[in-house]
Amino acid sequence: MGKIINEFKDFAIKGNVVDMAIGIVIGAAFGKIVSSFVADIIMPLIGLLVGGVDFTQWKWVLSAATETKAEVALTYGNFIQVVFDFLIIAWCIFLVVKAINKMKNIKKKEEEAPAPAEPAEPVVPEDIQLLREIRDSLKK
C-alpha cells in the first residue's frame, strides 16, 4: 500500500501534472472572461447591426406553454451565442500559442546562433614580413 501512495505522490508532484492543473484553472477563468466579452460586448453590437435583435432570445417553439406543462422550444439563439464564444476563445488561444511559438523560435535562434569567430591573424604587409625575415636571419 505504501508503494502505491509513493507512486501516486511522485506522479502528482511531477511538473507536468502541476502545470496541467494550473493551465486548466487559468483556461477556465479565461473562458469565463471571453464568454462575458462575447455576451456583454460583441453580441449586443452584432444585435445592433442586425436591427437591435438579441440573439439569446431567438427560439423555435415546438409546443407552447400551458398551465400544466412548460414551453418546449429550440433555443438556437443560445447556440449562436455559444458558437461565437467558441470562435473567439479559439482565436484567442491561437494567438497566444502563436506568440509562445514565436518566443520559442526566437530563443532557439539565439541558442543556435554561431559563436563569434575568432579574429584571423592580421595580414602582414610584405615589406614588414621581409624585415622580420632579415631580423631573424641576423640573429642567427
Task: For 108-121, write each residue's pLDDT tens digit.
Answer: 777 776 666 677 77
Q: Which of 72 and 23 is assigned the larger pLDDT?
A: 72
The whole model's pTM is what? 0.50
**Of the candidates 83, 77, 82, the residue with the CA atom closest to the CA atom of residue 47:** 77
Section 69-87 average pLDDT = 86
**CATH code assigned to 2-86:** 1.10.1200.120
Task: Decide if pLDDT at 106 tops 70.
Answer: yes
pLDDT over 90 for what percent of the chain? 6
**Most confident range, picked from 4-13, 42-51, 63-72, 92-101:** 63-72
